Structure 1
């Protein structure tokens, strides 16, 4: 991608208030751009809108697709979300502004089954889900990608902040230049085949530059706020959504100290997550944190902060997109940088391959919650390349007092 100013008819037709440096998007095909069909996933936000404008400005045959994922009016009333209500309207306005075909596809039933229902069931099982990963994994990069192929597209383009880099063994996933916006953690489940078909034009752009382009091209979403939290969860109240989806499923139980003492009762495990300190409703004279959740016993186990220390993370449904190897056993002991939360930096560790996959961390990490993801990065070159990841199924909790 170069940052040379383009003077293309598609851009010149827009009433830009000033000259602007427009990135020339090269999607890497050996044929004329006008004969290259590109589907752009348009959520109605500024990132995907700028991507659509840049792809169209670069001369590709551009088709915008917006997914309606839930009934914004009937299900939840939340502003700043994506893929419903006002956001669909905004995507349509952007498509009209830049002059591309735009379609809205009803994926509501698929989204409910693959994402919303999974979210509720995962919480009830005592885990802490990441619905954004499930959405990318099951809806956007599976169903939408297949739809793009059905339309004869050469690739699917999204506004994610992540990089696709051509490597010696095929396409690689790398972290975005803007580390504050990097979304590689949420895309760890992307397969090699999907990565071959995907393109991410925002990899080299910081967010302020994206907004500058949107303003220069007079896109109607240039100053639209970024979406916050989970799109179908109003006001961040996860437990309310679970209770609505699974009425009566959240049963009360006991709050137990690590030493076995019964400290109180709770109204349902859905109100708690590993590492939580506030709102426990118990007091012993010492700071207490949720250490683990035993949904089978309906028990919330609490203890001191140091009891949150985790050295080994047990994984399920691992997706490996690193170097090609002859069998999983070849990765046993492989050094990685492991990221156990989207808000945490990657930390050193090693893969452990036995009956299943796990990561043994060089130093303990606190607040590692089953249901979250553990994403692997290559320690070489500053951890830029994404090697894959898996879902955290269990943790080896190391209580320093027992050592």
Structure 2
């Protein structure tokens, strides 16, 4: 039976573990990235926040991410206790993550070279290609390795089919990482079941959800200015088809007196050149809602809370969602969420307590749920208050950091019995 280390069930650690040197490997998702691009989203937030939460608990954390610009320094202090290390692997330019696999050998070789002179106590890789690189180095040096997938190739293949641009080796390599690492840190229960179908035993898996910064994401503070319409619905995240913005636009046609703000994608001055934005604008024109859809482009992290506070309802209608940070951010800001019944959203969004869950790819169901909330200010307020309490109890980063730390300790303590290596 898998070990569930969700923060709200973790009663605390009997005695604080000693400070450790922790390596977080995140090959394409730098904690320094601007959010909203094709390959910059929840994983970037997760890695940055987890690193900070671990540093707050006394650990020294280094995040290893690929150098994607020639002028980046070798190391950048992110905050006290956290350093970002840029790894030379492939050309120093931005590349789609699906083109990075050929460079993971160099990435792993660099990790091994750095760690030979100063090995970390624990390595935690994020996303499957980071696992491939980290596995090479940890095998060579005998270091404990934990892995978080953030997304699984089997799920992507199932939903995207021929549109899946992942390397053909992805699923086999994901299975290899899951079987070879010391422990898999899954982010939701749905992922545990998917891993079991891949052949990764649940006995190797613990569940620690993603978290949210409850001091930044709060109901109090400035809100994005409203337009002339009575209601505003917000969709926030990367502008890729699976996030379901097309579903939101189709639903908007059934929601009079409502504007839809779509935040994410390239910078505002480059929206016109983005294929997904062009597709969505064409759909808005077809649905007759062009004047009620606003695209903001990529949003700096400091502007996200005001965006959320300015919405009546936040929608997360993804076709599939490995975890989904936006529902937590919205609930932390006291906003009701209408989300599709997929992945981590099944864990985070409580229907009817914090919002509504609807089938994916169903504009009518989305419109009905959103319309119900827009028509009832009292229900919106109640959902917002319940959502804030739920986040504080289960998903704040200090609790996620504590649960992750417990997973590290369990992996390190078990390692001598498994391999004879400390």
Name the TM-score, length of structure 1 as normaliser.
0.28
* Richer in strand (by share): 1
Structure of higher CA gyration radius: 1
